[in-house]
Amino acid sequence: MEDKSGNSVKEVIKIHICLDLWVERELLSKPEIEKVLQEQYGSISFMQVSNHTYP
């Protein structure tokens, strides 16, 4: 028998992760956001900031 509640939780988690990644990508694609991040993190490259995991 299939565990429907377990599968539902997994689907919600997948959707949440995809949404988080999409939002992060959209924010980091905005020049003003990139500028603020560069000001906060100094000379750190854009790729290092985009791969950063936030708490």
- The pLDDT of residue 13 is 92
- The pLDDT of residue 55 is 47
- The pLDDT of residue 16 is 92
pLDDT (tens digit per residue) in 2-54 = 577 788 999 999 999 999 888 888 887 778 777 877 787 775 555 555 555 54
- The pLDDT of residue 37 is 74
Domain range annotation of the chain: 4-50
Q: What is the DSSP string of 1-55?
A: ---HHHHHHHHHHHHHHHHHHHHHHHHHTSHHHHHHHHHHHTT--HHHHHTPPP-
